Amino acid sequence: METVLELNAVVKRFGDNEVLRGVSLSLHRHEVVCLIGASGSGKSTLLRCANLLETVDEGSISLFGQSLLSPHIDPDLVRRHIGMVFQSFNLFPHLSVLENILIGPLHALKRDGDEVREEALALLERIGLRDRADDFPDRLSGGQQQRVAIVRALAMRPSLLLLDEVTSALDPTLVGEVLDLLRDLARSGTTMLIATHEMNFARDVAHQVAYLDHGVLVEQGTPEQIFVSPRHEATRTFLDRVR
């Protein structure tokens, strides 16, 4: 299978604080990898490094075999191929739902307006929010906002999606609708790197699960390997605590 994203011995420091300590990870086409680990273990930082929202101190990152840390790389072009969804949605409050989805394709990809509009409406149809296209984000529930944020990322037709604890800020009753959408995407073959605290979801959806502890990727394997028979003590302790 074609490798989409590859991280090799990535080190990231904030001052004296080493947040990522030589993390290596690869993501293949149509693959879903879930990152698990306690808050502060470096999951978010790893995702942000992957689309160059953070600079990397050591190691290498490549997308489709091209090194992203080369000085000749244009980060804006890289990010157009990598969708990102945030814990706190970060929809643009001054734009309608439809405009939120259109802004990337129109102003980053400079695509034709009518065509993009059709696609955006089709995406909204898919998540059952077509009739809310002209509403502003603050009129929507948290779950609806997060689904719009996912669709906003999808509208760029990214090669992969990075999802940063996308259900952590949601009311428990609204988590389901967002996870259902992600399951749906996984089934249709979307390549995703998902940082999550939802263990059952990770178990269902992931092809690979990686456990991150204080910036170290302790263990990686299939959901069975990680959840049923973890090899490392640290993984076992973590899983016992979250269950």
Partner 1 sequence: MSLEQEADALQTPPRLFLPRRRQLLIGRRGLVASTLSTLLVLGGLVAVFYLAPGGASVRFFFFNPHHMWHSFIGDPRQGLSSVGRGLIVNIWIFLVCEVLVLFFGLIIAWTRMSQSPVLLPFRILSTTYTDVFRGIPILLVFFLVGDGLPALQLGFLSNQSPAVYGCMSLTITYSAYVAEVYRAGINSVPHGQTLAARSLGLTHYATMRRVILPQAVRTVIPPLLNDFISLQKDTALLSIFGAIEAVRAAGIYASTEFNFSGYVVAALLFLILTIPMTRYTDHLIARDRSLRLAAA
- 170-188 burial, b for 16+ CB within 10 Å, e for fewer? beeebbebbbebbeebbee
CA–CA dist 196, 83 (Å, integer): 16
Closer to partner 1 by CB, 82 or 209: give it.
Answer: 82
Is 123 a binding residue for partner 1 by CB under 8 A? The answer is no
Residue 81 or 203 having the CB closest to partner 1: 81
Q: Which helix (H) or strand (E) is 212 found in, with range? A: strand 208-213
3-state secondary structure of 164: strand
Stretch that binds partner 1, among 107-115, 125-133, 183-191, 192-200 (CB under 8 A): 107-115
**Dihedral through CA 229, CA 38, CA 79, CA 22, nearest 10?**
-70
**Residue 142 makes contact with partner 1 by CB under 8 A:** no
User: Is the Cβ of residue 76 or residue 233 nearer to partner 1 in the bound state?
Assistant: 76
- Which 8-state DSSP code applies to residue 99? H
**1 is a contact residue toward partner 1 (CB under 8 A):** no
Verify binding: residue 83, partner 1, rule CB under 8 A: yes
Q: Residues 2 to 41: which contact partner 1 by CB under 8 A?
A: none
CB of 68 to partner 1, least distance (A): 14
Among 2, 55, 67, 108, binds partner 1 (CB under 8 A): 108
Give yes or no for a contact between 210 and 220, defined as CB atoms under 8 angstroms apart: yes
Helix (H) / strand (E) containing 144: helix 142-154
The rounded distance, in Å, linking the Cα atoms of 166 and 177 is: 12
82 binds partner 1 (CB under 8 A): yes
- Stretch of 26-34, 77-85, 140-148, 199-207 lying at the interface with partner 1 (CB under 8 A): 77-85
Residues near partner 1 (CB under 8 A) are 51, 53, 75-80, 82-84, 86, 88, 90-94, 103-104, 107-109, 138, 149, 152-153, 156
